[in-house]
């Protein structure tokens, strides 16, 4: 890994953390973007709390999507579940075609405002990358390896847990990472239905024409997404090295 990239990464992370912890110090930077003496730094809530809340929502939705998508992927690649494969594919595709805003809006009358409709929207939107990758991962296990595993006397469950899933793991983790990062940005929409997150900073900015607020919300989200992507990629690499040494 080139050292320049690592330095950049650490710098970005340091910048993000310092901004979230002590945003007022950055006030002079944002002041020129405001008019008529509007506050340069978002003052209707704690930025750090909002960022963490958004991250939390995304992680919960990702955990749910991962469980369902991987479980479904395993089910439809078994002989007993092959029947559900075409329908699952279609459904997961539809889930991604539905604009998350629409899912959000429809979910509100059913489950109320706040975190719950946001979780539903993020859950539906995040299924596809994980499901497709699980499918490809499980289907590209070399047939000779599967045959050898069965021929050696592994039960179907042992084969799944000790051979198929470890070999499909890189692709599955890749799908989870993609889904997570996509959702970090999408989660800002949740603020239109009163979910806690950086979206409310952006919306406050929109309502009061305060570009500083908008930038704060947008840049922090963007930075979080990029850093998360990077961090998860590194984590993936370290985890997969351990799979062989187990």
Partner 1 sequence: MSEAQPGTLAVGGAGITRIDPLGAVLVAAGAAALLFLPFVVFKSNRIVPGDPRTLVQVLPAWGALGCAALLALAAAAALWVANARARLALALLALAAVALAAAAAGDALTPPGDRVVRVAPGGAFWVVLVCLGLLGTDATTRLRPGPGLRVLMLAASLAVVGLALAHGVFDHLSIMREYAVNAVRFAREARQHLKLAFGSLAAAALVGLPLGVLCHRAPRLRPGVLTTLNVIQTIPAIALFGILMAPLGALAAAVPLADRLGIRGIGAAPAVVALFLYSLLPIVANTVAGLKRVSRAAVDAAHGMGMTSWQVLTQVELLLALPVILTGVRVVLVQNIGMVTIAALIGGGGLGAFVFQGIGQTAIDLVLLGAIPIVTLAFSAALILDALVEVLDRVKA
Partner 2 sequence: MIEVENLTKRYGETTVVDRVSFTVERGSIAVIVGTSGSGKSTLLRMINRLVEPTSGRVLIDGRDTRGDPAHLLRRRIGYVIQGYGLFPHRTVAQNIATVPRLLGWDARRIEARVRELLEVFSLDPASYADALPHQLSGGQQQRVGVARALAAEPAVLLMDEPFGALDPIIRTKAQDDLRGIQQRFGTTVLLVTHDMDEAFRLGDRVAVMSAGQLLQYDRPAALLTRPAAEFVSRMTGLADRALRLLSLVTAGEAALPGPSDGPAVAPTISLREALSELLWSGADSARVVDADGTVRGRLTVATILARGRP
The footprint of partner 1 (CB under 8 A) covers 33, 83-84, 86-87, 89-91, 93-94, 97-102, 105-106, 108-109, 181, 184-189, 192-193, 198-199, 202-203, 205-206, 209, 211, 214-215, 217-219, 221-222, 225-226, 229
Q: How far is the CB of 135 from partner 2 (least distance, A)?
A: 19
Q: How far is the CB of 239 from partner 2 (least distance, A)?
A: 12
Of 163 and 219, CB closest to partner 2: 163
Q: How far is the CB of 136 from partner 2 (least distance, A)?
A: 16
144 contact, one of partner 1, partner 2, none, CB 5-8 Å limit per kind: partner 2
Q: Which two tokens stand for residue 12?
A: 């970005």
Cβ proximity of 94 and 137 under 8 Å: no
Of 144 and 207, CB closest to partner 2: 144
**How many Å apart are CA 220 and CA 73, to the nearest integer?**
34
The residues that touch partner 2, with contacts defined as CB under 8 A, are 142, 144-156, 158, 163, 166-167, 243-244
Cβ proximity of 139 and 167 under 8 Å: no
């Amino acid at each position: 890994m080139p050292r320049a990239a690592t330095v950049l990464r650490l710098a970005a992370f340091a910048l993000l953390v310092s901004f979230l912890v002590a945003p007022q110090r950055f006030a002079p930077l944002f002041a020129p973007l405001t008019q008529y003496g509007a506050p340069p730094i978002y003052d209707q809530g704690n930025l750090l709390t909002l960022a963490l809340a958004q991250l939390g929502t995304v992680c919960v939705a990702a955990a749910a999507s991962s469980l369902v998508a991987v479980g479904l992927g395993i089910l439809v690649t078994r002989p007993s579940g092959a029947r559900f494969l075409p329908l699952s594919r279609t459904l997961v595709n539809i889930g991604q075609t539905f604009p998350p805003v629409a899912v959000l809006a429809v979910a509100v009358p059913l489950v109320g405002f706040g975190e719950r409709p946001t979780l539903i929207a993020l859950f539906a939107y995040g299924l596809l990358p994980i499901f497709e990758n699980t499918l490809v991962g499980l289907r590209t296990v070399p047939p000779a390896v599967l045959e050898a595993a069965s021929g050696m006397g592994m039960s179907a469950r042992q084969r799944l847990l000790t051979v198929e899933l470890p070999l499909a793991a890189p692709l599955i983790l890749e799908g989870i990472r993609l889904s997570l990062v996509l959702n970090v940005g999408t989660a800002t929409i949740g603020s239109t239905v009163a979910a806690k997150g950086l979206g409310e900073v952006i919306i406050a900015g929109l309502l009061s024409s305060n570009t500083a607020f908008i930038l704060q919300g947008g840049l922090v989200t963007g930075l979080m997404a990029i850093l998360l992507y990077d961090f998860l990629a590194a984590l993936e690499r370290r985890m997969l090295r351990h799979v062989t040494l187990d």
